[in-house]
Structure 1
Amino acid sequence: MINYPKINGLIAAVFTPFHPDGSINPALVSTYADRLKRQGVAGVFVNGSSGEGMLLSVEERKAMAEAWAVHGTADFKIIVHVGSTSVQISKELAAHSQQIGVDAVGCMAPCFLTSSDVDVIVDYCQQVASAAPELPFYYYHLPVATGAHIKVNQLLERGSKRIPNLAGVKFTYTDFMDMHQCLALQGGRFDVLHGHDEILINGLVLGVQGAIGTTFNFIPEVYHKLMEAYQDGDFAAARAYQMQSIDIVTVMLRYVNAVVGGKAILKLAGLDCGPCRTPLRNLTSAEWQQLEQDLQKTDFFELLTESRLVGL
């Protein structure tokens, strides 16, 4: 197996920009990337759940990956999600990701006709990872969406014997015993990227160094401060920053889901990524008004002012 350096800091699970007519808008990526870099974000996770990746065509997914790939630097990693309901499509997307020179690929289990048999998922991952052998491969653990209820530590243990480029996992679940086992496995060689923004502090306690999240798109400074406070041993401050996050996540989830609500909040923060794609629905005028009122009851707009992001 290859030992890869671990990713530290915040990776934004970016939204896919759309034009009003529903077509993708890759031209907005340059502005988007510049914004995230100025906020100290360490990279992006492209075409994932927040990016409506499963709602895009193969060609659209390739176009979005290409739009982001040119913005990758040593300090700004580009991870492309290649999971789909077809292993052949996932392999095609993985090979394309390697061709355009991104930093890593991620892949969730198929969300239709899936399996909770670890060996079956390892076999699936092995086929996808082998299509991009030069890139680190991350398993994207999201059992609430995929239905693949497995122990990730078992996948990493067994996968390490079959997948040379297996780097780690994007862990978007609340089984902290499994997460702890992943972090400790094989002397801590695997990169475990935390996937639940509102409980990032829980992952820090276990030793997580990096995270991938939706709200990193618009309030990354909260998480920078949270991680710094935790590292400095100021646990009271870390808990307070986490509570700021929780308040905003709570509002976000009232508005359909994290994708619809999150994309709307990013627009209020100054970056309009357009509508969501069907079958996701977009907010009504009344909901937009209520969303802004709900956010005014949190620290959201003060946080934007502090980070000088209003109007960007």
Structure 2
Amino acid sequence: MEIGLGTWRREPSTVVRQAGPEDVHAKSVIVAESEVTGVPTEWAPHSHARHELVWVRGGTLTSRVGNRIYTVPAGFGLWMPAGTVHGGRLTAKADFFDAFFTKAPEPTTVAPERTPVAFDRPTLVAMTPLLESLLLRLARKDLEGDARARTEAVVFDVLEPAERQYALELPGDPRIDAIAEALLANPADDRGLQEWAAALGVSDRTITRAFRGATGLSFAQWRQALRVHQALVLLSEGADVRGVSEWLGYAQPSTFIAAFRRVMKVTPGNVRNPVSPVPDAGLPTRGPVA
């Protein structure tokens, strides 16, 4: 299953895995699990029979769907509709959590009308303290009957899209795919339009039109968005702002901070030092199927 343009940059220590087995016969509307991999982990393209919500603590999850890359930092989750083919990448220090949602009127603890499809496309969700606490509660094996049904109902009441959707649209245009591949491999590549035009044997106007048509952004805006996605990963792993700025090719940290804030509406420091939304709680573990 091909999921778009090339592949993202892979650390040498990355472990590549297949999706684990999915219990499609589970009677609960929501089934929550977790895992700590301890190493950078990548999942090959796959899909699920149920809707999936994934979130992390202490790191970043990146998921690729077609020509889109979704970056999921701490405090956010990614809703993946059933049947959506996607690949995943987890940073080394991240705690991984996921929850599967019944997608159709199957035998469940609540009526079918209480199991709505929340979103019909991949969507970033705000992992509020309330939502995460509810999902952690649903991971308990001793929660049954009416208590589970009430908790599941509240989850659907508070499940909302995040104000900011961190999705990077990859061009998927043969005229500029080489540029996107180069920047994915090295976000600090500072070649401008004229240099790229000369390298590809096209006009800079062609590159500009291609980026606008494929992504809705100018070349400069797209490169900045890509750098922000890379910054989210690095910051979530504990890298300092100056180091991230230098690695991404910014002349000054202040320039990076301003660019990051334009896109994210928060400073890099807010991402690097997020407040843990809920206390640690044990969840049943199984190989994650991001």
TM-score relative to the length of structure 1 = 0.24
Structure 1 or 2, whichever has the larger Rg, is 2
TM-score relative to the length of structure 2 = 0.25
Higher helix share: 1
